[in-house]
Amino acid sequence: MDYLSIIVLIFSPLIAAALLFSSFFKHNEVRIRRFSKGFASLHFLYTILFLVFFNPLKDGISYYKEITFFGSDWIQPLGLKMAFGLDGLSLLMVILTSFIFLLALIASKSNIKSKHKFYYSMIFLLQTAVLGVFCARDMFLFFMFWELELVPMYFLIGQWGDKKAKASAMKFVLYTFFGSLFMLLGILLLHFYNFATYGNLTGDFSQIAISTPEFPMFMQIVISILLLIGFAVKMPIVPLHTWLPDAHVDAPTPVSMILAAILLKMGAFGIIRFNMQLLPEAFKLIAPVLVIFAIVNIIYTALVAYSQTDLKKIVAYSSISNMGIVLLGLCSLNLIGFSGAVFQMIAHGVISAGLFMLVGIIYIRTKTREIIELGGLGAVMPRLMGFGLILSLAAVGLPLLVGFVGEFLVFLGAFNSDLDIKIYTGLAIFILVLSAAYMLRLLHKTFWANIFEKWQGIKDITNHEFVVLFALILVVGFFGVFPMAIIEIVQPVLTNILQFLQI
C-alpha cells in the first residue's frame, strides 16, 4: 500500500496545471486536450486503486501523510500541519471528483473554443483545490484549499462564460468569500478554545474532536453557527443561494458540471466534517432549526424551478432543492438519514452533471436555452432524448435509479428521527410531485411537442458527448441497483458520528 501516495493524488493535477501553463506546451489545441484527458484518466484509475486497497471496516483514517518543510511543519508556531488522509467519506468524494473532472474534460472539446492552455491549467488547479478540501486533516489546511478553489473558479466562470459571466463570477467569489470569512472565524475560535482547554496548539481534526465537548456550550453553538454560514453559502441554503443560478447560467457547460456535481457537495461535506464530527452536541441543538431551512430549501426552490423558462436555471434550482434533501438527511440524526444524505450527494453529483451536459448539448446546437423556443427535439436527436429521459427520471426518483435510493433513505431517516420532525418530512415529500412536475415539463417542452422549422437540421450527439452521458448513465443505473456499494464505504464514518451524538 505504500506506493499509493495521497500527496501524488492531490498534487499531481497541480503539476499538470503547471506543465500546461508553462511554455512546454505550445498553443496546440489538440495536444493540450489529449494530454489533459489522458492525465485525468490516469488520475481516475489511480483513485480507483485507493478504493481497492481501502479497508472500510477499519476505523480511522487510511493513507495518512504529512508534508514537512525542512524538518518543520507547515505553520509550526500555530501547530498546523499539512496533513492529508482519507476516511470513507472523503474517499467517495475523491472518486466522484476525479470521475466528474474526467467527464468535464471530455465535454470541454465542444464548449471551449479559446485560450486552451489557460482553461485546462485552471481546471487542474481547481481539481487540486477540491481534492485538498476533501483530504485535508487540518482545519486551516481545509480552509486554505477552500479559498484556493475560488481563484480558478473565478477565471473559469468569467473567462469562458456568457455575456454577464464576469459579474456572475464576481458574485460567486464575493458570496463565497463572505461565507468563508465567518467560517475562518469559527475555525480560529475552535483553534483558540482548544488551546485554552488543553494547552496544545493544533488544527488536527481528530484532536479537536476530542477537546470540543469541554468547550462552553454557548461557544460551541456560536462556533457552529459561524461555520454553518460558510457552508450554507456553498451548499447553498436558501437565503444565501442567489449566487448559484447566476453562476450556473453564465458558466460554460463543463464548469457547470463541476460546480453542481462537486463544489456544492463541499458545503455538505463541510457540515459533516465540522458541525457533525467536531461539534456534535451543538449540532444536535441546531438540527431542529436547520430542518426548517431544509424544508424551505426543498419546497421553495422546487417551486422556483417550475416557474423558470431557462433550461439551465431549472437544473440549477433543482440542484438547490436536492441539496435541501441532503440537509434534511443530515438533520435526521440517525444512520438511515445520514446514509441517505451521503448517497444523495453522490447521486445528485452524477445526475446534475448529466443534466447540465444535456442542456449544454442543446445550447451548442440551438444557441438558446429558452424553453419556449425549443420543442420536438426528440425527432432529430433520438439518442439525446433517450439519455435525457433516463437522467430526468433519475432526478425525479424512479426506483432502480440512484435518485430514488437517496431520497427514499433520507425520507425514511427523517420519519424515524428522534427529533419528531414528521410534519416537516410530510411537507418535504411533496418534492416528489414537484420535481416530477418541473423535470417532466423540461423533458416535454424540449423533446416532445411540435418541432420548429429551424431545428430540423440539428445533428444528434457526437461520440464525445455520448461517452460522457453513457458513463453517467452507467453510474446512475449501477448504484441504483447496488446502493450498498456506496453506503458500506461510508458507514464507519457515519456510525462514528452517531456514537458522539448519543453521548
**Could you tell me the smallest distance in angstroms from the CB atom of residue 115 to another protein?**
8
Per-position x/- string for 47-86, each x denoting binding to another protein as judged by CB under 8 A, each - no binding: ----------------------xx-xxxxxxx--------
Identify the CA nearest to 322 among candidates 397, 255, 258: 397
Give the C-alpha separation, 119 to 254, whole Å.
11
Distance, in Å, from the CA atom of 451 to the CA atom of 453, rounded to the nearest integer, reads 6
- Cα–Cα dist 100/89, whole Å: 17
Identify which of residues 279 and 489 has a Cβ nearer to another protein in the complex.
279
> Between 175 and 424, whose beta carbon lies closer to another protein?
175
CB of 158 or CB of 324, closer to another protein: 158
309 binds another protein (CB under 8 A): no
Instruction: Indicate the residue among 169 and 475 with the shorter CB distance to another protein.
Output: 169
Residues 397 and 432: beta-carbon distance below 8 Å: yes
Question: Is residue 145 close enough to count as binding another protein by CB under 8 A?
Answer: yes
Q: Can residue 389 be called a binding residue for another protein (CB under 8 A)?
A: no
Report the candidate in 253, 245, 411 with the shortest Cα–Cα distance to residue 324. 411
- Interface segment toward another protein; rule CB under 8 A; list 177-185, 205-213, 402-410, 472-480: 177-185
C-alpha span between 241 and 238 (Å, rounded): 5
Residue 150 binding another protein, by CB under 8 A: yes
* Of 145 and 356, CB closest to another protein: 145
**Binding flag, residue 151, another protein (CB under 8 A):** yes
**184 near another protein, rule: CB under 8 A:** yes
120 binds another protein (CB under 8 A): no
Contact call for residue 159 and another protein (CB under 8 A): yes
The answer to whether residue 182 forms part of the interface with another protein (CB under 8 A) is yes
| Short-list 20, 282, 276, CA closest to 126 | 20
Binding mask 186-215 for another protein (x = CB under 8 A): --xx-xx--x--------------------
Residues 503, 501: Cα–Cα separation, whole Å: 6
Under the criterion CB under 8 A, does residue 185 sit at the interface with another protein?
A: yes
Identity of the amino acid at 61 = I
How many CA atoms are closer than 13 Å to the CA of 55, on its beta-carbon side?
8
Compare residues 3 and 70 and give the one whose CB is closer to another protein: 70
Which CB sits closer to another protein, 144 or 486? Answer: 144
Q: Does 170 bind another protein (CB under 8 A)?
A: yes
Q: Could you say which DSSP state residue 450 is in?
A: P
To the nearest whole angstrom, how small is the minimum distance from the Cβ of residue 129 to another protein?
8
- Among 235, 234, 40, which Cα is nearest to 150's? 234
Cell of 2: 505504500
**Integer angstrom CA distances of residue 230 from 11, 125, 193, 243:** 25, 22, 20, 14
Half-sphere exposure in the Cβ direction for 330 (13 Å, CA): 32
**474 exposed, middle or buried (CB, 10 Å; 0-12, 13-18, 19+)?**
exposed
For position 173 contacting another protein by CB under 8 A, the verdict is yes
Q: Which residues bind another protein (CB under 8 A)?
A: 69-70, 72-78, 115, 118, 140, 143-145, 147-148, 150-151, 154-155, 158-159, 166, 170, 173-174, 177-178, 181-182, 184-185, 188-189, 191-192, 195
